[in-house]
């Protein structure tokens, strides 16, 4: 952190100013002039919170993608299909048993098993052939998309939010002040906050697992230099299978989250594949903190964009990607 400030004082100043302005916009009571210029504070706060919680969902999808890419150099373009499949599995489980929590567990296990199968049957055979692996994942994503269309049709599915999470909750952010001097607080759906907290917990858990455990050390060593790691006697194939299972399982969990947040339908796989691509390009390929930062930026940009410039919202996301590629092609937090 301090090294970044020392090396790029101008950029650090810009970032600090931007964060300060954002914090002021969130916590201060807006003066009337500002409300006239850009609309009510409630709309802004809702967009920010939607953006942050969407960022949590994007992080769940993209962290698996970036982990698989970082270790195996495998651009898994079927990751969106794994997301959608996880969502469908979660839908079946939650509508059959009525248990929301169980749907997460089953989706994780089923999709992780598919990941293991893919790694053992398909990707192990073409190790080191980046392009061919990517082509195979493209072919797989087409096949999966059509199989899922066959099985589930083109309908929209939504996973039922459990009763104890339904309804809004008041959070201590002032949206406006009544003429009597009484402050109005923001109402926000509880389920989104809980899911966001869960994704933060998962993110911290992954960070700890990667940085404080032996298996995490092996994975980090593999990201840095796969061949030397294999030469030291680590059973690298086992590590690959584990990482692929974890990445795929995270995509499955994200599918259940996405099915609860919004809905599941054909085409969502592409949407989340694009999201993870952009998040990983912005954050840095193979970096978990990068995925978190990228997911936050892209989630915020998407939601704020769709509120304030509705027909050009995607351009904002895209411009962020262009800007990062122009200034720091390896991504914001990647080492190489």
Partner 1 sequence: MSLSHGAHAHATPPTIAARPSIRTWPEINNPAAWIVAIILLIMPLIANGFFLIEIFGTTLILGIVALSLMFLAGYGGMVSLMQLTIAGFAGYMYAIFGMSASANISLGWPWWLATPMALALATIFGTLGGALAVRTAGIYTIMITLAIAAAFFYFTNQNWPLFNGHTGINTIATPHFWGVDWRGDIPFYYVVLAVAALCYFAVEYLSRAPFGLALQGVRDNPRRMAALGFNVNAHRVAAYAFASFVAALGGILQVWNYRQIAPGSVSVGAAIDILIIAVVGGITRPVGPFIGAFIFVILRTFALDFLVKIGLDGNRFRLLIGLGFLAVVFWSSDGVIGLWERWKRGTSDPAGTSRRHGHG
Binding site for partner 1 (CB under 8 A): 73, 75, 77, 129-132, 134-136, 138-140, 142-143, 145-147, 150, 270-271, 273-274, 277-278, 280-281, 285, 310-315, 317-318, 321-322, 325-326, 329-330
Task: Check if the beta carbon of residue 301 is closer than 8 Å to that of residue 97.
Answer: no
CB closer to partner 1 out of 101 and 315:
315
- Least distance to partner 1 from the beta carbon of 333, Å? 15
CB closer to partner 1 out of 145 and 288:
145
- Least distance to partner 1 from the beta carbon of 251, Å? 16
- Least distance to partner 1 from the beta carbon of 75, Å? 5
Whole-angstrom distance, CA of residue 143 vs CA of residue 136: 10
CB closer to partner 1 out of 27 and 156:
156
Which parts of the chain are beta strand (E)?
168-177, 183-189
Whole-angstrom distance, CA of residue 257 vs CA of residue 251: 10
Using alpha carbons, select from 134, 89, 79, 96 the residue that is nearest to residue 250. 79
Task: Check if the beta carbon of residue 283 is closer than 8 Å to that of residue 62.
Answer: yes
CB closer to partner 1 out of 134 and 160:
134
Tokens describing residue 66: 């970036």
- Least distance to partner 1 from the beta carbon of 46, Å? 19
Phi, psi dihedral angles at 18 (to 5 degrees): -60, -45
The crossing angle, in degrees rounded to 10, of helices 236-261 and 190-212 is: 170
Give the bridge partners for 157, in sequence order.
Answer: 264
Whole-angstrom distance, CA of residue 286 vs CA of residue 115: 18
Question: What is the largest distance, in Å, between two alpha-carbon atoms of the chain?
Answer: 73
Burial, 127: exposed, middle or buried (Cβ in 10 Å; 0-12, 13-18, 19+)? middle
Q: The tokens 């499949």 sit on which residue?
A: 85
CB closer to partner 1 out of 77 and 84:
77
Whole-angstrom distance, CA of residue 304 vs CA of residue 58: 16
Whole-angstrom distance, CA of residue 130 vs CA of residue 121: 16
CB closer to partner 1 out of 8 and 125:
125
Task: Please report, in angstroms and rounded to a whole number, the separation of the first and last CA atoms in the chain.
Answer: 18
- Least distance to partner 1 from the beta carbon of 264, Å? 18
- Least distance to partner 1 from the beta carbon of 199, Å? 22
CB closer to partner 1 out of 90 and 331:
331
- Least distance to partner 1 from the beta carbon of 102, Å? 31
Tokens describing residue 53: 């919680």
- Least distance to partner 1 from the beta carbon of 231, Å? 23
CB closer to partner 1 out of 1 and 121:
121
């Amino acid at each position: 952190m301090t090294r970044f400030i020392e090396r790029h004082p101008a950029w650090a100043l810009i970032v600090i100013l931007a964060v300060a302005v954002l914090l002021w916009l969130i916590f201060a009571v807006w003066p009337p002039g500002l409300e006239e210029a850009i609309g009510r504070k409630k709309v802004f706060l809702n967009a920010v919170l939607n953006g942050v919680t969407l960022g949590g969902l994007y992080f769940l999808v993209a962290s698996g993608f970036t982990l698989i890419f970082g270790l195996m150099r495998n651009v898994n373009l079927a990751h969106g299909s794994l997301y959608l499949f996880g969502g469908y599995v979660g839908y079946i489980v939650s509508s059959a048993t009525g248990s929301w929590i169980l749907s997460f567990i089953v989706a994780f296990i089923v999709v992780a098993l598919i990941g293991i199968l893919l790694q053992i049957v398909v990707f192990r055979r073409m190790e080191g052939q980046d392009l061919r692996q990517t082509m195979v994942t493209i072919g797989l994503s087409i096949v999966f998309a059509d199989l899922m269309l066959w099985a589930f049709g083109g309908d929209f599915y939504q996973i039922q939010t459990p009763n104890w999470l339904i309804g809004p909750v008041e959070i201590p952010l002032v949206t406006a002040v009544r003429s009597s001097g009484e402050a109005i607080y923001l109402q926000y759906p509880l389920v989104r906050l809980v899911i966001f907290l869960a994704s933060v917990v998962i993110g911290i858990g992954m960070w700890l697992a990667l940085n404080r455990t032996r298996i995490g050390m092996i994975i980090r060593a593999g990201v840095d230099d796969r061949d030397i790691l294999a030469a030291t006697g680590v059973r690298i194939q086992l590590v690959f299978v584990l990482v692929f299972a974890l990445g795929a399982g995270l995509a499955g969990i994200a599918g259940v989250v996405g099915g609860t947040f919004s809905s599941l339908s054909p085409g969502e796989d592409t949407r989340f594949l694009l999201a993870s691509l952009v998040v990983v390009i912005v954050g840095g390929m193979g970096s978990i903190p990068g995925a978190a930062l990228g997911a936050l930026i892209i989630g915020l940009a998407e939601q704020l964009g769709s509120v304030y410039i509705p027909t050009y919202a995607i351009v904002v996301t895209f411009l962020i990607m262009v800007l990062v590629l122009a200034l720091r092609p390896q991504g914001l937090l990647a080492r190489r």
